[in-house]
Chains A and B, each alone.
Chain A
Amino acid sequence: MIDLSLLPDGGVRWLDASGPNADIVLSTRVRLARNIEGFAFTGRARDGERLRVLAQVREALPGIEGMTDNVLFRVDDLSPVDRALLHERHLVSKELAGLDAQHPLRTGAAVFLAERLGVMVNEEDHLRLQALQSGFALQQAYAALEQLETALGKRVPYSFHPEFGYLTACPTNVGTGLRASVLIHLPGLVLTKEIGKVLAGLQQMGLTYRGLYGEGSEVVGNFFQISNQTTLGSAEDELLDKLLRVVAHVIEREEEARKVLLRDAGYIIEDKLWRAYGTLRYARSLTFDEAMNYLSGVRLAVGLKLIDGLSVYTLNKLLIFSQAAHLAYAEGRTLSESDTNLARARYVRTTLEKESGSVG
């Protein structure tokens, strides 16, 4: 199995809840799509071309600040569980991990990981540079990423067109190649049924939303990824600024909704959330969706200070480590669906048990 201890922080530093608004915003991710001149885009490239792309990047990265101690995972050499594990940690996309039925695993698929930065190679574009931060930290994430992008662009030639900007396989990414997204927990807006309006408003602002795993994924546990829709026609800082302003507004709306819930339905909400905690604390079998929904409840309870003594960090860890591939990894074997549900309940139970002394 894959040795994740190779990563300086296990690739999960962003879970530590140290960032701004970390109780509502789990993480901020910014990525830049780039292609290297002289090769067909990944989907049309031959194996030899993709391997040369990888070789060029491998040679260029170690000299770059922030990537000096990078770890390379050849995704194309990994077992399905290991690839799913990287995907569950949000370190590689579903497409790169070869878990997407439409895109089988490609020769040359790889990811370079450093503390807060990552470079996916041979995803839909040759390069997907990304930065991941705890909480709501768009500017910090972009600053680190921009530095990497500039330094790498001096060593490998990016495909750039004076009129269209950075060229990408999919026309929806062309121009800046920038997609910034904020993973946000909005149970208050869902419970007060305000969410529909908020989401419609996002679309009017040229923003979009997705589920926990990005494109094509379903919204579970009231987690939404809000990101910019267009990449061409606005400068990078304009795109970031718009997302920043809108997300700040959504956070305010969420906080207001939580106040309304407490004021108008205090005991009902309190009862509902403690029941969610009770289920997680004692259930013997949990499906992924169940776990996500109850964790959403407990997270809300912690945010409302109805439950004390449970850290946001623990809740974040529970989200990631209760996923199927993580459970299989911890148990050291592949698990059937029912075994996964048993293992999930056991993991959640023991984790909460450790902190139960202080919960009240």
Chain B
Amino acid sequence: MLCDNCGERDAAVHLTTIVNNEVRQQHLCEKCAAERGVETSVAKDATKHPLGDFLHAVQQQLTVPLADGGRCTFCGCTMNDFRATGRWGCARCYTTFEPSMRELLRRVHGNSRHQGETYQAPQPALDEKATILGELKERLRRAIESEQFELAADLRDRIRVME
């Protein structure tokens, strides 16, 4: 097959793209691919992609059983979920999987320590917090009574965070 672009050399790169929901296939020779900025050597080498590297690292980590039991208490995310999606489930996953996290972040970013701006979340005043907690618990009780389980789960999460 000849290159779609120059029509001279053999196509070596088969590029599938989705533009405006349309799948398109292009067949390019290495030269034209490189001119269009398609890095063939990099794309083939999955370990050079940051997430590829990361997931590879996760795979290796999994051969060693996790000391932390491997399930986030807030969102229920497991290492397997992470492997499948490449996404964590919630902020607490970072604490749940902390021992592995440090090494994994080092592989992605070359560093695991944040050097940028620091942040202090706004804290509701103590008595205000107690009022909100009381109200949330009352709402949770009512949600369970009326079998609104989705709402109940939401409320339970909020109570956990506040406590």
17 extra A-B contacts, CB within 8 A, seeds A38-B157, A84-B21, A232-B105:
A37-B121, A37-B161, A40-B74, A49-B154, A99-B21, A161-B95, A163-B112, A163-B113, A163-B114, A170-B51, A171-B108, A190-B35, A218-B15, A218-B38, A219-B38, A232-B111, A323-B20
Query: With A164-B101, A199-B39, A232-B114 as given contacts, are A46 and B153 in contact (CB-CB < 8 Å)?
Result: yes
Interface size on A, residues (CB 8 A): 67
| Chain A proximity of B160: nearest CB distance (Å) | 9
Does A277 lie at the interface of the complex (its beta carbon under 8 Å from any beta carbon of B)?
A: no
Q: Which residue of B lies closest to A87 (CB)?
A: B20
Which 10 pairs across A and B sit closest by C-beta, in order of nearness? A233-B111, A165-B114, A159-B91, A157-B121, A232-B109, A219-B37, A44-B89, A176-B116, A38-B161, A230-B109
**Candidates B21, B86, B88, B116; contact of A175 at CB < 8 Å:** B116
Does A195 lie at the interface of the complex (its beta carbon under 8 Å from any beta carbon of B)?
A: yes
Query: With A43-B87, A218-B17, A232-B105 as given contacts, are A195 and B150 in contact (CB-CB < 8 Å)?
Result: no
| Chain A proximity of B116: nearest CB distance (Å) | 4
**Candidates B88, B101, B117, B158; contact of A176 at CB < 8 Å:** B117
**Candidates A47, A224, A233; contact of B37 at CB < 8 Å:** A224
Q: Which residue of B lies closest to A157 (CB)?
A: B121
A48–B37 Cα gap in the complex (Å)? Answer: 42
B116–A171 CB distance below 8 A: no
Q: B19: which A residues are within 8 A, CB to CB? A: 217-218, 288
A154–B122 Cα gap in the complex (Å)? Answer: 6
Does B77 lie at the interface of the complex (its beta carbon under 8 Å from any beta carbon of A)?
A: yes
Does B22 lie at the interface of the complex (its beta carbon under 8 Å from any beta carbon of A)?
A: yes
**Candidates A41, A47, A171, A217; contact of B90 at CB < 8 Å:** A41
Q: Which residue of A lies closest to B51 (CB)?
A: A172
A231–B109 CB distance below 8 A: yes
Does B99 lie at the interface of the complex (its beta carbon under 8 Å from any beta carbon of A)?
A: no
Does B115 lie at the interface of the complex (its beta carbon under 8 Å from any beta carbon of A)?
A: yes
A203–B105 CB distance below 8 A: no
Query: With A40-B89, A323-B20, A324-B20 as given contacts, are A230 and B114 in contact (CB-CB < 8 Å)?
Result: no
A residues 270-301 near B (Cβ < 8 Å) are 288
Q: A350: which B residues are within 8 A, CB to CB? A: none
Q: B153: which A residues are within 8 A, CB to CB? A: 46
Does B60 lie at the interface of the complex (its beta carbon under 8 Å from any beta carbon of A)?
A: no
A164–B114 CB distance below 8 A: yes
Does B34 lie at the interface of the complex (its beta carbon under 8 Å from any beta carbon of A)?
A: yes
Does B29 lie at the interface of the complex (its beta carbon under 8 Å from any beta carbon of A)?
A: no
A229–B116 CB distance below 8 A: no
A90–B161 Cα gap in the complex (Å)? Answer: 35
Q: Which residue of B lies closest to A124 (CB)?
A: B87
A233–B36 CB distance below 8 A: no
**Candidates B75, B154, B161; contact of A52 at CB < 8 Å:** B154
A81–B22 Cα gap in the complex (Å)? Answer: 14
B94–A161 CB distance below 8 A: yes
A159–B88 Cα gap in the complex (Å)? Answer: 13
Q: B34: which A residues are within 8 A, CB to CB? A: 195-196
Could you give 25 example pairs across A and B, Cβ below 8 Å? A37-B121, A37-B161, A39-B157, A40-B90, A41-B75, A44-B90, A99-B21, A153-B119, A157-B121, A163-B112, A164-B94, A164-B101, A165-B116, A171-B105, A172-B54, A174-B105, A199-B37, A203-B42, A218-B17, A219-B37, A219-B38, A229-B50, A232-B111, A233-B112, A233-B115
Does B69 lie at the interface of the complex (its beta carbon under 8 Å from any beta carbon of A)?
A: no
A157–B122 CB distance below 8 A: yes
A residues 141-173 near B (Cβ < 8 Å) are 153-167, 169-172
A163–B37 Cα gap in the complex (Å)? Answer: 36
Q: Which residue of A lies closest to B75 (CB)?
A: A40
Does A193 lie at the interface of the complex (its beta carbon under 8 Å from any beta carbon of B)?
A: yes
B35–A195 CB distance below 8 A: yes
A158–B91 Cα gap in the complex (Å)? Answer: 10
Does A209 lie at the interface of the complex (its beta carbon under 8 Å from any beta carbon of B)?
A: yes
A residues 47-74 near B (Cβ < 8 Å) are 47-49, 52
Q: B36: which A residues are within 8 A, CB to CB? A: 190, 218-220
B113–A236 CB distance below 8 A: no
Does B151 lie at the interface of the complex (its beta carbon under 8 Å from any beta carbon of A)?
A: yes
B17–A175 CB distance below 8 A: no
Q: B104: which A residues are within 8 A, CB to CB? A: 171
Does B65 lie at the interface of the complex (its beta carbon under 8 Å from any beta carbon of A)?
A: no
A99–B20 Cα gap in the complex (Å)? Answer: 8
Does A314 lie at the interface of the complex (its beta carbon under 8 Å from any beta carbon of B)?
A: no
